[in-house]
Structure 1
Amino acid sequence: MYFSRFHALMALAFSILVTGCASPYPHVEEDFQTDWQSQEYNAQVHLLPSAPEALARRIHLVRHAQHNIDLTYFSWDKDTVGLMLVDELVKAADRGVQVRIVLDDLLVFNEKWLAEADQNDNIQIKLFNPFGSRKMGWLGRAPNFMRHQQTLDHRLHEKYFNVDHHTMILGGRNIGDAYFGYSDSANFFDMDTLFKGDIITPFTDNYQALWDSEHVQPISTQIKVKMGAQYKTLTKALNKTKRKHPGVVMDIENNIRRLKPLDMIDVVATPVFDSLDKLNDQQPYFRSRAENTIKTELETAKQVTISTPYIVPSQKKFDVIEQLTEQGTEVSLFTNSSASNDSLFIPAYYKQHRQTLLDMGVDIHEYRDQAVNEDHFFHVDTYYHNKTLIVDDKLTYIGSSNFDPRSDFLNVEFGVFIQSEAFAKDVHHYLTKQQSTLYWYVTRDDQGKTTWESNAEMHSKDPNYGSWHKVPDWIFKKMDGEFEL
């Protein structure tokens, strides 16, 4: 397993083991951000209906870009998808398009292939909150993290794709084979939405503020490459992956050719942004602003669907879920099962949280570790990565936040609330169209024992989560590190 989240948590685990203590939750005033004012915008939206189309739309947009392309991602893998997209950006830059990329630095080591692209006069790449170590992998970074944990714990988790300030893609996907169904090892079940209209303006402003901030540094100051290298490392890696995966390359090109005109839905959208002040005070700007934005809708909700890959409480409590169930709201949760979770740590805590949520009356749907997504090129192990919220089938959240402690207090996040019954219907269908084969339905039997059911299959123990997990789970729980997850 090679996923970015996995590697990030491996680094985190090493650091926690070395420091031997968990970070405390910061104090948050009860009225924090209650005076923050949200603003509505007109927009047109299109839920990208499959993983291959999510990539095909991106490449198609790059190939037809005329003026500028702005991108932000938590991770960008050096694989077929990652290399092909960088190559497309280089070609766009060669014809005069101004390209700007901001990447979180957690998974960027000595990436010369990216630094070479930055040498193009029309491409600028910046790294968010860069580490002081580039070599020796995690062994080099762990001491760096230990010395500067309070600063380096903050990561940029936004996923943003803006072409010509005309078309924008937001969602849960980073850039890499695994996010578009093209990994022959394991893939993520994820979701993206394409936007047009006035909603793009506040996201453009948010990007510019990030670009101008002290928290991003040019990649050229961090990774050195020979001047005039003419993309030597990038070209070599791209040619190698094309030879190794010709079927993937062909499928990507075929999906681009098969793209149809977009069927857009007119909506009213409300963006919510984090604050870079979080890097100094660890306050939950995004979550507080988001909850205040939809406070009325939550208080009157009859049914809420919550989708998150990592179900982790803040300060040991599921405050919003508890509020909803106590007022009689029907709550459905879609998340990873213990076996499908790409995090090593969350399953250690989730066993207890599952019981708490069942006690509240939450309907739990856990993603199967061997679920087969119809749109994936390779049918291998899959992990749940969708992040959304649907309130009364008319208000939908799309964004980067998992609504977990790391998203609340450490990561920089953003999202948008969309008012539209038609769009909510599309999102609900996307999550549930393969419900009987993708998820376990988790309930309690007449004796109060937890059961997992999918089609005619039923289990009384955590499916495919063996006894060998007991020891590592015990170790991870002793770390008491949920604040970091």
Structure 2
Amino acid sequence: MHSSHATHPTARSGAWHTFWRCFAMITLLSWATGCASLPANTDRRASTAFNAPDQTPLGQLVHARRAQAGARSDSGFYLLDGVEIALTSRLALIDGAQRSLDLQYYAIHADASTEVILQRLRDAARRGVRVRILLDDFNSVGPDAQVLRLAFEPNIEIRLFNPLPGSRNSLVGRILTSLHDVPRIQKRMHNKVFIADNAWGITGGRNLGDRYFGAGEKQNFVDLDVLAAGRIVRDMSASFDRYWNNELAYPVQTLLDKEDLEKLRELAVPGAQSVKSGGVIPAAAAAPAPGAVLPGVTAAEVRQADRPSMDLRKVELRWAPSTLLVDKPGKIGPGDDEVDAGDTVIDGLMSALRLAQKDVLIISPYFVPGTQMMAVYEELRKRGVRIRVLTNSLASNDAPAAHAGYERYRKDLLAMGVELYEMRSDPESAKQLVGSGGDQRPKSDAGKEPDSRASLHSKAVVIDNRLSIIGSMNLDLRSQLKNSEVALVIRGSPVAQELTRQIEAMLAGGAYRVEQRQGKLHWAAPKGASFGDEDKEPGASAKLRLIVRLVAPFAPDEML
């Protein structure tokens, strides 16, 4: 697919000159720092999910709820669209577990929200629950490396998937020492799964951290999960086991020890520069509060671990036929080719889209279709299928480079009749769409909630108002070709109608509709909105627009 915008030869030549200068600098730095390598992964012991969920209270609760509903389907679902239930549902699974807890995530950030979850996990392990945490290794650096402290607790194992060698002081440093292995390090485990006793589970788009639970100071994600119960959870556990026992899953102790973590913590002293943000870490973050798992939290944040969890007996489950789409671990294999990847999550999603007869509703924070996906959308439009897409605006996108990829297809999508909506990023939209995180939201010195901005992070598709697909995948080439993903496919109108209502509420309350008028883009506000129309990227500064224009010519779609 060709770009709709031409680039002047002189401008392109100057941009290439800048690019090659930067490339040369990075290459020299990588030579200076040397090539790091990973240790042998020989201490990995195989383990599998608890295979008798019916013997636990959580498993018995599933049977009781199903019998109460008189359901024929063997799996139940409940949408988690708010930050409060997203947190309290996870706490409920931890509190209710008696045998096992399995967590698989792309990112777990060391902050107040995570402290609540990790402290409950530690308490569960101390009462005899086996805890396994599988974490992609890309983000476990700097302050976030402190999450790995939990690996040294009894009954808790943490493994890092597809790790990067080198020091955990700096992500940039680790990347520089891994430039000889770029094809591998750019492939990441993006799955997000939270399972208790192989009976109840959660999957969706949400990582663990303040920004995912409405407590971010500058940015909060509008996100979506689904709580699942019954047979489908056993499929989620089988997927977890495949990744957990894969040769790319390294036990934390293979890569670092307690002393390494202590040295990293010592970086967080008054006046020291934060390796994560480049700013100064306050004195309050230098030492752990009494009872805290993470060393950077305050005593007030530790007390939040006492917050109540969701009552699973009262959750209104929707019982429906379902299947799990999940990529094989081989998709993250070495080299440029997908090793033993088989059919991918995006392949399955595209196959489902082709079956649409009337309506497709897509919500994807990063929307970079590529040639194959564009062909599917064009096929649907020729058959008269309505397609609506909600994605991030430039201002709400936390990855401007991804917006550069989306921008290449925007006019072509509009030309074929795809309806495009872009998230509004202002604090008003954040408060309306993200919701309140309760007592966890950080307060300013004046005691007011911070003016954080909204960023879309939900990933879901609704087809003909009867098929729902909710998971970790974006509708982009990175999810299709590089990252491993997981998604639930739920058949039935009740879930689809509820999900449609939620997405349409976002369209009506916090999104612009993108239109093309006389060859120029126009952003139309919803009827009755408190904000007006725009004729340029809404809320985006001139500097941000310039950055996207500079990045666009050199960023391959599959890297975005």
TM-score bucket of the superposed structures, by smaller chain? 0.7 to 0.9
Q: State how far apart, in whole Å, the 2-side matches of 1:451 and 1:317 are.
A: 24
Q: Paired residue for 2:244, among 192, 211, 214?
A: 211
- Residue 99 of structure 2 corresponds to which residue in structure 1? 67
Q: State how far apart, in whole Å, the 2-side matches of 1:15 and 1:100 are.
A: 40
Unpaired stretches in structure 1, ≥5 consecutive residues: 1-13, 21-39
- Residue 35 of structure 1 corresponds to which residue in structure 2? none
Q: State how far apart, in whole Å, the 2-side matches of 1:237 and 1:122 are.
A: 15
Q: Paired residue for 2:138, among 106, 115, 119?
A: 106
Deviation track 1:293-342 (CA, whole Å, cap 9, x = no partner) reads 526xx334210001100110225862322221122110000110111100
Higher deviation after alignment, 361-370 or 342-351: 342-351
- Residue 451 of structure 1 corresponds to which residue in structure 2? 522
> What is the CA-CA distance between 1:17 and the residue it aligns to?
8.3
Higher deviation after alignment, 135-144 or 93-102: 135-144
> What is the CA-CA distance between 1:87 and the residue it aligns to?
1.0
- Residue 30 of structure 1 corresponds to which residue in structure 2? none
Letter of the structure 2 residue corresponding to residue 389 of structure 1 = V
Q: 1:457 to 1:474 in 2, by over 3 A?
A: closer
Task: Tell me if structure 2 keeps the 8 A contact 1:15–1:142.
Answer: no
Q: State how far apart, in whole Å, the 1-side matches of 2:145 and 2:418 are.
A: 48
- Residue 267 of structure 1 corresponds to which residue in structure 2? 320
Residues 37-52 of structure 1: pairs in structure 2 closer than 5 A: 42-52=74-84
Q: 1:321 to 1:126 in 2, by over 3 A?
A: same
Deviation track 1:346-395 (CA, whole Å, cap 9, x = no partner) reads 22233332211111111111100112343233552010011000000000
Deviation track 1:388-421 (CA, whole Å, cap 9, x = no partner) reads 0000000010111113111111111111211010
Q: State how far apart, in whole Å, the 2-side matches of 1:186 and 1:452 are.
A: 22
Residues 75-474 of structure 1: pairs in structure 2 closer than 5 A: 75-109=107-141, 113-226=146-259, 235=291, 238=294, 241-243=297-299, 245=301, 256=309, 261-278=314-331, 279-280=333-334, 281-282=337-338, 285-287=343-345, 289-291=347-349, 294=352, 298-315=354-371, 318-370=374-426, 371-374=429-432, 375-377=435-437, 378=449, 380-445=452-517, 447-454=518-525, 455=529, 457-474=532-549
Letter of the structure 1 residue corresponding to residue 488 of structure 2 = V
Q: 1:289 to 1:479 in 2, by over 3 A?
A: closer
> What is the CA-CA distance between 1:19 and the residue it aligns to?
6.6
Q: 1:187 to 1:260 in 2, by over 3 A?
A: farther
Task: Tell me if structure 1 keeps the 8 A contact 2:405–2:555.
Answer: no
CA RMSD of aligned residues (A): 2.9
Question: Alignment partner of 1:351: what SS?
Answer: helix
Higher deviation after alignment, 344-353 or 120-129: 344-353
Task: Tell me if structure 1 keeps the 8 A contact 2:398–2:455.
Answer: yes
Q: State how far apart, in whole Å, the 2-side matches of 1:16 and 1:406 are.
A: 26
More relative contact order in 1 or in 2 (CA 8 Å, sep 6+)?
A: 1
- Residue 6 of structure 1 corresponds to which residue in structure 2? none
- Residue 558 of structure 2 corresponds to which residue in structure 1? 483
Question: Alignment partner of 1:78: what SS?
Answer: coil
Task: Tell me if structure 1 keeps the 8 A contact 2:110–2:147.
Answer: no
Higher deviation after alignment, 143-152 or 303-312: 143-152
Higher deviation after alignment, 234-243 or 464-473: 234-243
Deviation track 1:9-51 (CA, whole Å, cap 9, x = no partner) reads xxxxx8898479xxxxxxxxxxxxxxxxxxx983110112411
Larger-gyration structure (1/2): 2
Letter of the structure 1 residue corresponding to residue 135 of structure 2 = L
Q: State how far apart, in whole Å, the 2-side matches of 1:180 and 1:460 are.
A: 33
Letter of the structure 2 residue corresponding to residue 388 of structure 1 = A
Paired residues, what number? 446
Task: Tell me if structure 2 keeps the 8 A contact 1:325–1:331.
Answer: yes
- Residue 34 of structure 2 corresponds to which residue in structure 1? none
> What is the CA-CA distance between 1:143 and the residue it aligns to?
1.9
Task: Tell me if structure 1 keeps the 8 A contact 2:364–2:390.
Answer: yes
Normalised by the length of structure 2, the TM-score is 0.74
Task: Tell me if structure 2 keeps the 8 A contact 1:348–1:477.
Answer: yes
Q: 1:255 to 1:341 in 2, by over 3 A?
A: farther
Letter of the structure 2 residue corresponding to residue 404 of structure 1 = D
Q: 1:16 to 1:366 in 2, by over 3 A?
A: farther
Deviation track 1:233-270 (CA, whole Å, cap 9, x = no partner) reads 69557475344658xx65x8556378871101110001
Q: State how far apart, in whole Å, the 1-side matches of 2:383 and 2:312 are.
A: 45
**Percent of aligned pairs with the same residue?**
26
Q: State how far apart, in whole Å, the 2-side matches of 1:222 and 1:284 are.
A: 30
- Residue 23 of structure 1 corresponds to which residue in structure 2? none
Question: Alignment partner of 2:116: what SS?
Answer: helix
Task: Tell me if structure 2 keeps the 8 A contact 1:286–1:414.
Answer: no
Q: State how far apart, in whole Å, the 2-side matches of 1:372 and 1:352 are.
A: 27
Q: State how far apart, in whole Å, the 2-side matches of 1:120 and 1:442 are.
A: 51
Residues 15-30 of structure 1: pairs in structure 2 closer than 5 A: 18=26
Q: State how far apart, in whole Å, the 1-side matches of 2:230 and 2:27 are.
A: 48
Q: State how far apart, in whole Å, the 2-side matches of 1:238 and 1:155 are.
A: 25
Task: Tell me if structure 2 keeps the 8 A contact 1:15–1:145.
Answer: no
Q: State how far apart, in whole Å, the 2-side matches of 1:17 and 1:419 are.
A: 52
Normalised by the length of structure 1, the TM-score is 0.84
Task: Tell me if structure 1 keeps the 8 A contact 2:461–2:468.
Answer: yes
Task: Tell me if structure 1 keeps the 8 A contact 2:89–2:310.
Answer: no
Question: Alignment partner of 1:431: what SS?
Answer: helix
